[in-house]
Amino acid sequence: MRAVVVRTFGGPEVVEVADVAVPEPGPRQVRIKVAAGALNPVDVAVRAGFFGGAGKVLGLGWDVAGTVDAVGAPTAWEVGDAVVALVPGVTDPLGAHAEYVVVDADAVAKAPVSVDAVHAGTLPLNGLTALQALDQLELAPGASLLVTGAAGAVGGFAVQLAARRGIEVVGQARAGDEELVRSLGAARFTADGVEPGGVDAVLDAAVLGEPALEWVRDGGAFMGVRPGGHPGPVRGVRTASVSVRPDAAQLAELVRLVDEGVLTLRVARTYALEESAKAHARLAEGGVRGRLVLVP
Pick the CATH number of 2-123+265-295 from 3.90.180.10, 3.90.1150.10, 3.40.1160.10, 3.40.50.11810: 3.90.180.10
Higher pLDDT, 39 or 229: 39
pLDDT in the model for residue 89: 86
Residue 147: the pLDDT is 98
Specify the domain boundaries for CATH 3.40.50.720 within the chain: 126-241
- pTM beyond 0.85: the answer is yes
> pLDDT for 98-115, tens place per residue?
999 999 999 999 999 999
Contacts of 46 (CB under 8 A, 6+ apart): 6, 53, 58, 60, 90, 91
18-26 mean pLDDT: 96
- pLDDT > 70: percent of the chain: 100
The sign of the dihedral angle between the CA atoms of 254, 256, 261, 264 is: positive
Distance, in Å, from the CA atom of 65 to the CA atom of 82, rounded to the nearest integer, reads 8
Whether residue 4 contacts residue 46, with contact meaning beta carbons closer than 8 Å, is answered with no
Arithmetic mean of pLDDT, 139-164: 97
Q: Residue 227: its pLDDT value, please?
A: 87
Question: Any idea what DSSP says for residue 98?
Answer: B
Q: How far is CA 7 from the centre of its chain?
A: 24
In the chain, residues under CATH classification 3.90.180.10 are: 2-123+265-295
Q: Kindly give the interhelix angle for 124-137 and 248-259, rounded to the nearest 10 degrees.
A: 110
CATH number of the domain located at residue range(s) 126-241 in this protein: 3.40.50.720
